[in-house]
Chain A
């Protein structure tokens, strides 16, 4: 149980970067961007092929981020200058990226076992400095010493990285360019009349969004020890699930609050999925189905709850006020008829 939750936290905090990317496109730009399914793999593919070729893993990750940025910009170009519908431009890029990713990798799967990745460096560092044993000792003293995690390095390092990205995103969205991007998603006509080039802003926004997605993909490949051409399938829905769950549970009062909520949403999504997979008749292959069901529930239940609340309120009002209204109506007679005869 502890191992499952620990694993969910670790994966959730890495996928949170992808979810922040989806937040940029889906919520800020109001652009449901399916490029994500492809750019996630692009990030993974580039980092995997370069790391296995002996390139420094940090450099490989940075290049993956740039590739994601380029992919997002291309989707933006298709939509703005090509005047292609937003969903369709994302789908087109996603399909194109599938072939491109295969070309980058040269085969459909690249294992990274026994290779030096960003995370093996960090794990080594944590082991040498004794931080791992410090945390494990703590766990043992509270009686959770049975199945200790292999390393705390990834989790702690990723918390720092993800929160750094969260703060940078918050700051960016408060800058003049950031404000203009938000307005592009909110009211295009208005921001255009305030001399902002909405086409460029859409392209920039999608570029940044997919840069984050590719970053997350590069990290997941290094954490999981492989890159696979199919690992991005349904990624947009996982991102959406994190955004929607996070917003519903933790609120959206300010930008900073929302981005925090999304990180929380990503972790909770992972916990829910790992719990669901512990049910006996479900297999790992059912994960996409579970994701879809989680998103459907998250999208529909708030509305159903609101409606039933509203109905209850109306019913209560009817019981309380109707007799009184009827009484005054009979006492005063029909108001409409009186007005008519006057004129």
Chain B
């Protein structure tokens, strides 16, 4: 479904600030794969996400989604196939527009936008139905402005907007990191539920090791722009935080330098 071939990206090439963000990375996802990515700050996780989403274009290498080479296609054109949830709950929704208008915009993601009414009666019924699956009561607040929702509610709505058109790839970029623990758990559970329901091919970046272990069928660890560890479906069942940290120490010869990762 997703295929990354020898992706390479350097920032500020030829200056003292030169930084190799992604160092010849290969990655393949089969349809229905749910891969969690962990790694310390600056490991290249978010850059990788941005390259898949088309925000950044790699210096070398190719990105294939659903068999199509999208390496040089622009963000808006490939986002027909990609659902994305950002870390910042404010980033995934338009605050001055209503819940139903936000959903209508997400609904037209894989269609051509035209001079049709965005929110029709038929669509509103459908939106109510999908909102019910969030169990937050948002289905009764279709005409409320999204800016009035709490961070957790907005993130749940973003998650729904990213997924209910069943994109080929779902990218989750630390989407629970800015929420308090109970809200984060809620979003984590919703993620599990929604990904299962639509059987979405998913890539999730997280700093929370427990979350990375609990969710998904595969796990990869990144450091300094490289994938240093890949855990497949069979081995992921027995994975623990301690084993992950041991593996990191064995590969890199140093302790993992990430307080947030250590704590959780």
A residues sitting closer than 8 Å to B (CB atoms) are 172, 174-180, 182-183, 186-187, 189-198
A320: min CB distance to chain B, Å: 29
The reply to whether the CB of B53 lies closer than 8 angstroms to some CB of chain A is yes
In the complex formed, the residue of A with least CB distance to B158 is A190
Q: A193-B84, A194-B105, A195-B79 given as contacts; is B95 within 8 A of A176 (CB)?
A: no
Question: Which chain A positions have C-beta within 8 A of B84?
Answer: 193
Separation of A192 and B109 alpha carbons in the complex (Å): 10
Q: By the criterion CB–CB under 8 Å, are B94 and A176 in contact? A: no
Given A177-B113, A194-B106, A187–B95 Cβ distance below 8 Å?
yes
From B92, B115, B116, A190 is in contact (CB under 8 Å) with B92
**Beyond known contacts A179-B105, A190-B94, A193-B75: 8 more, CB 8 A cutoff:** A174-B119, A175-B115, A175-B117, A176-B118, A189-B86, A192-B75, A193-B92, A195-B79
7 closest cross-chain pairs (CB), A and B: A186-B94, A176-B113, A195-B79, A179-B118, A183-B94, A195-B80, A187-B94
Which residues of the partner chain A approach B101 to less than 8 Å between Cβ atoms? 179, 182
Q: Is the CB of B113 within 8 A of A180?
A: yes
B66 to chain A, nearest CB (A): 15
- Least Cβ–Cβ distance between A220 and chain B, in angstroms: 29
User: Is B91 among interface residues, defined by CB-CB distance under 8 A?
Assistant: yes
Secondary structure dominating the interface of A: helix
A172 to B114, CA, bound (A): 10
> Which A residues are in CB contact (< 8 Å) with B108?
176, 179-180, 194
27 A–B contact pairs at CB < 8 A? A174-B117, A175-B116, A176-B116, A176-B117, A176-B118, A179-B101, A179-B118, A180-B113, A182-B97, A186-B94, A187-B93, A187-B94, A189-B86, A190-B92, A190-B93, A191-B94, A192-B79, A193-B75, A193-B79, A193-B82, A193-B84, A194-B105, A194-B108, A195-B77, A195-B79, A195-B80, A197-B76
Q: Is the interface of B mostly helix, strand, loop or mixed?
A: loop
CA distance A192 to B50 in the complex (A): 13
Nearest chain B residue, comparing its CB with the CB of A200: B76
Complex contact B79–A183 (CB within 8 A): no
Quick check: is B110 within 8 A (CB to CB) of the other chain? yes
Decide: A174 near B75, CB < 8 A? Known: A179-B105, A190-B93: no
Is B161 engaged at the interface, CB distance under 8 Å to the other chain?
A: yes
CB distance from A241 to the nearest CB of B (A): 22
A183 touches B105 (CB 8 A): yes
- Interface assignment of B104: CB less than 8 Å from any CB of chain A: yes
Q: Given A174-B118, A194-B106, A194-B161, A179 and B97 touching (CB < 8 A)?
A: yes
Q: Which of B87-137 contact A (CB under 8 A)?
A: 90-97, 101, 104-106, 108-110, 113-119
Asked if B118 and A194 sit within 8 Å, CB to CB, the answer is: no
Do residues B53 and A191 form an inter-chain contact, with CB atoms below 8 A? no
Bound state CA distance, A178 and B108, in angstroms? 12
| Cα–Cα distance between A193 and B74 once the two chains are bound (Å) | 11
**B residues less than 8 Å from A180 (CB atoms):** 105, 108, 113
Say which residue of B79, B91, B96 sits within 8 Å of A194 (CB atoms): B79
A196 with B76: CB separation less than 8 A: yes
Q: Enumerate chain B residues within 8 angstroms of A176, measured Cβ to Cβ.
A: 104-105, 108, 113-118
Contacts of B119 in A (CB 8 A): 174
Q: Shortest Cβ distance from B64 into chain A, in angstroms?
A: 18
Cα distance, A182 to B92, chains bound together (Å): 15
Chain B contacts of A183 at CB under 8 A? 94, 97, 105
